[in-house]
Amino acid sequence: MKLTSRRGISKQGNGNAPPACQQKTINDQRFLQQFITQVFIMKKFLFLAMVALLLGTTVTSCKGKSKADKVNDSIAVMMGKMEGTDFKAGLQQNPDMAMQIDKDQVLRGMMTVINMDTTKSSQSYIYGLKQGMRIYQELSQLEMQGINVDRRLYMNELKKVLESKDTINFDKMQKEMGELQNKLAALKDKSLKIRGEENLEAGKKYVDELLKGNDGYKKANSGAIYKIVEQGKGESFNETSVVDAKLLMKDINGNVLQNMSKPQPLPLAQIKQDPVFGKLYDIIKGMKPGAKATIVIPGDQIPEGMGLAPNMTYIFEITTVGLHPEPPRPAPTQAQNPSGDNAGQQPQPAPKPAAKQPAPTPAKK
């Protein structure tokens, strides 16, 4: 898993990539929505595989069921098995996501939707769920930036518009929506400014208490505050190390933004270039395998435009496991050893000269 902030630390250096914490949360939201959507959409090749299996499979059903019903039962069993396997595989590949969801509630949500019939009321309800998911993601992104939207007020105003008997004038609507967009942007900026001032004050107080306390916190050259909880063993990492590490990122209010509970590779050379995670570089580089550290990045050390709450102070709990294993190198060819030259090789015999060809016979006049 790559660890990136809004501008990213990927090799491509994409300056528009969202931060790891935000991207991870957004991906988690989309991950759950995609799994719910997959209940209704079965890929063609899976369906064909299911049909092929049906040719040689029978399922024991209750007495009195017709042959068609028994075949349909087989379809239900196989589709459920495949969907469950796909779902479980996705959770297995996303252990952080698996820790954040309740499987029983996921199943409850699935059952609510798939048991709907084709009546107008049921289809309307499903449409409402889809729109609600879109709104939920939009509001969640605002909350990550520190703008908490009152759901009740939001829905009351939405309901008022929908239930109004007024006819929409599209020309007038276009102008009004443009004005509303401008007002909304100004209000968002005002909210972020107020929240930024509050976060800055709370973060400064938090950091001052750490430095004045007896917990062993120090200030790094990067501006981050840190303490080494466990020293670890062996040699320290270097600037080219790819470190397998566990990482927990949260704000000073306890809200978890990222939880890498299983070791993930952290390429230090890429982290160094990142405007947010670069604050961790010198500290991680000085750690050893098996070490643990708590690192605090004050809000005034994080540039604007990272997609994070303004001036929020963040806490990183890092456990280094060791160096990430390098992929096996290809075996050297006969002409070149691993160092890139021919040193140490047995001299090869010189190629034999080509046999002389007889001179061409002059053409007869």
Q: How confident is the model at residue 2 (pLDDT cuts 50, 70, 90)?
A: very low
* pLDDT-derived band at 356, boundaries 50, 70, 90: very low
CA distance 220 to 233: 22
Is it the case that residue 237 has pLDDT exceeding 90?
yes
Identify which of 24, 18, 22 has the alpha carbon closest to the alpha carbon of residue 1: 24
Read off the pLDDT of residues 168-199 as tens digits, 9 standing for 90 and up: 888 888 888 899 999 999 998 899 899 999 99
Q: pLDDT by residue (tens digit) across 246-274?
A: 999 999 999 888 888 889 899 999 999 99
Overall average pLDDT of the 3-8 stretch: 42
Dihedral sign for Cα 54, 55, 61, 67, please: positive
Residue 307 CB partners (closer than 8 Å, separation 6+)? 5, 6, 18, 19, 22, 144, 145
Q: Does the pTM exceed 0.75?
A: no
Chain segment 36-64, per-residue pLDDT in tens: 444 444 444 444 444 444 444 444 445 67
**How far is residue 268's CA from residue 285's CA, in Å, rounded to a whole number?**
7
